Chains A and B, each alone.
Chain A
Amino acid sequence: MATLAQDRQGGEEERSGGSMLWIAIRLSLLFILLCGIVYPLVSTGLAQLLFPHQANGSLLKDKAGNVVGSELIGQSFADPSYFQGRVSSIDNKAEASGSNNYAPSNPDLLARVKASIAAWQKDNPDVPIDRLPIALVTNSGSGLDPHITPQSALVQIPRIGKLTGLSAAELTSLVDAYTEDRDLGVFGDKRVNVLKLNLALKEKLGK
């Protein structure tokens, strides 16, 4: 009797070894479906239903209703009468993202920053370089940073004033109006969205 019971136990052990694999396979397939298909599709449905503007990239429109980009994605402003954003090694091409990944000890970093400073001096002869904020001559992590620091906007006012004819006071109040506070008053840093600021500048000039 004892041996019979043992045999049966052994047999069960073996059978459940096979069934363990079978459970593992069924579990895997089910969770590929749940985590990989159901979850993202339900998320997309709810997001599109509840927050369509945010879910579709927070697109920004001008007064005429034309889309001019996403408020979250930086743009390149070649025209010096606009406020300039941060250095972007990918020229704000948002089909990809990235930066030079220069180490602090890399001589190429030094060369690139020196070139940015030289270009700044050419365009902004009235502003000494000890007022040039580091954020304006360094590459953002994403290469798509939509913001600059308030300081970085204010130092561009002399140049823009000269090119557009707007007074320093007008431009300063424009920058102030577009300076966003820290989130909830504490998190992150104060910042200016370059695209929003330039959109306002453009509309002010009636361009």
Chain B
Amino acid sequence: MDVLQIVIVIGMLALIAKPLGNYVYHVFSNESNRTDRLFGWVEKPIFAAIGLRHRAGMTWKRYALSFIAVNFALVAVSYVLLRAQNGLPLNPNGIGGMEPTLVLNTVISFITNTNLQHYSGETGLSYFSQMAVIMMMMFTSAATGFSVAVAFVRGITGKGKTLGNFFEDFVKAHTRIFFPLALVVTLVLVALQVPQTLDPTLSVTTLQGTAQQIAIGPVASLEAIKHLGTNGGGFFGVNSAHPFENPNALTNVIEILSMWALPAALPFMYGRFAKNGKQGWVVFSAMMALFLVFLTVAYTAEKSGNPALEALGIDASQGSMEGKEVRFGIAQSALFTTVTTAATTGTVNNMHDTLTPLGGLVPLAEMMLNVVFGGKGVGLVNMLMYAMLAVFICGLMVGRTPEFLGRKLEPREMKLIAVAILAHPFIILAPTAIAFLTDLGKGSISNPGFHGISQVLYEYTSAAANNGSGFEGLADNTSFWNITTGLVMFFGRYVSMIALLAVAGSLVRKQWVPETIGTFRTDNALFAVLLVGTVILIGALTFLPAIVLGPVAEHLTIRQ
């Protein structure tokens, strides 16, 4: 039954991905189509209200400047709202203002689509903050990532001179994708028992006659966009493990598909832009192949359980249940863990700190690679970056100038790609080393032995990959962690985005090279294999030593 339910969910994803990819293509192709009539009436007043008259195409620099300006404005307003939340409306539980380094960490975390949370929602945020800061940034950061990805794809596939208009892309991502989907998912989740209310914390008398306080709030509306936007920040401290965020296996499946469908659809959108559906299939297959390997490892490791507990003589046949919920069991927990770190959502329905060592290796490795589907747009862009690298390496081997989609890849592009690829391990491994060198970092580790290494490594990997899940035992709400992870999230998001927009900006101006018999093809199974090989090669070269010190060493310890 475990395998069957996993196969069904993957099957549903496979059915949704391609039509959804087509739809997203129509939204952003800017050619007139049926969806215009459906959404035009909403968009026209929005364009008028923001003063956008021409919707002219932008150069990569202008595109980058526009999205940075919008993100900066959103961060500035959010900073003020969080600092002043105790004096603002909709605060029925009387929550106080937030401490400055924690506010800094939180606003960076949400605008970068990371959603690392060093606060606990039920005790740290008013309802107004949950709405006007958290939900708002869940929409806007997702739409930003989506727009940049679309601009990148336009750049590498288009014959025009520009990457499109950021403001137009941003608005359409909301009106045609996130708003309608979020409203539908919200209502379905409420029907399946996720609360949605502005009433304060409930007070009840339990069956045994004691008092119980139950935190509640506008949970469903956050849940919907949290997953659709691959954000991942929970309403409550324990995120989607909380019975109010994720009350049953059906909501679990809906949340999985919500966070997975759009990232899985993007390769197909790319195929449409490239006017070659096979290009999309190659990228999708490479992602899915990596995903299936990771899922198998996670499920097997969790099902085999923790030998240290088994040795106590209890009935441990169910698997490793520490940190997991009965309603999900091993199958829905392992699937959720693998999807949340593949789609870089970072929502969790079980505690990743308590995963078996190999089960915990899976989310860690997926975030290190950062290309297995990936977050809103970022995964596709990263995978295409690896595709260019693969073409480049193959080109070197046969002594030809590498070409990708009919354009020559030259030193300028490869330098920018090298920056983006190297930045990721650098901002993970360097801060991890710094944390171990200082008492400020080391003092927060809660689990002894090799697992302590994994805790620190996981925190920075999650920040750099803009994932946001954590090995939550780590006592991370200190100035040291707030500031260092804040910087890592910032660079993790913007360095690669800007570098890759620059690549797109440079490619879009190049001469089209006609395809010949000698052209290295990027739309067949051979290339899919080369792509996966390149990803694993780069990933293993950079991260294997760190992984051996953490999860692998812990695995060997508890097998004794």
Contact = CB atoms under 8 A, between A and B. Distances in A.
Residue from A26, A27, A62, A72 with most neighbouring chain B CB atoms (10 Å):
A27
Contact of A55 (B1, B190, B446, B451): B190
B478 interface: no
Nearest to A101: B473
Contacts of A57: 195, 197, 202, 214, 216, 244
Interface in A48-74: 48, 50-51, 54-59, 62, 66-70, 72-74
26 contacts: A21-B69, A27-B167, A30-B50, A32-B132, A36-B133, A37-B131, A48-B197, A55-B190, A77-B207, A97-B215, A97-B241, A97-B242, A102-B353, A103-B449, A110-B308, A110-B309, A133-B314, A134-B305, A135-B326, A139-B323, A141-B325, A149-B318, A149-B326, A182-B249, A186-B1, A188-B332
Contacts of B249: 182-183, 187-189
A132 interface: yes
Contacts of A29: 73, 77
Interface string B203-224: 0111110101111101011101
Given A57-B244, A191-B327, A99 B354 contact: yes
Interface stretch (A38-46, A157-165, A167-175): A38-46
Nearest to B192: A54
Nearest to A41: B131
Contacts of A99: 238, 323, 351, 354
B96 to A, nearest CB: 15
Contacts of A94: 212-215
Given A54-B190, A95-B201, A36 B322 contact: no
B447 A106 contact: yes
Interface string A83-125: 0001000001111111111111111011001100100000000
B208 A78 contact: yes
Nearest to B186: A43
Interface residues of B, number: 125
Given A30-B49, A96-B237, A130-B313, A188 B327 contact: yes
B237 A97 contact: yes
Interface stretch (B24-32, B134-142, B483-491): B134-142
B404 interface: no
Per CB-CB distance, the 6 closest pairs between chain A and chain B, nearest first, are A188-B249, A36-B136, A189-B329, A101-B473, A141-B241, A36-B132
A206 B348 CA distance: 41
Contacts of A24: 66, 69-70, 73, 167
A135 B328 CA distance: 12
B518 interface: no
B306 interface: yes
Residue from A42, A44, A105 with most neighbouring chain B CB atoms (10 Å):
A105
A43 B196 contact: yes
Interface string A139-161: 11111111111010000000000
A135 B329 CA distance: 10
Contacts of B212: 69, 73, 75, 92-94
A145 B243 contact: yes
A142 B140 CA distance: 29
A72 B196 contact: no
Nearest to A144: B243
Interface string B492-528: 0000000000000000000000000000000000000
B400 interface: no
Interface in A176-203: 182-184, 186-189, 191, 195, 198-199, 202
A40 to B, nearest CB: 4
A26 B138 CA distance: 19
A105 B356 CA distance: 9
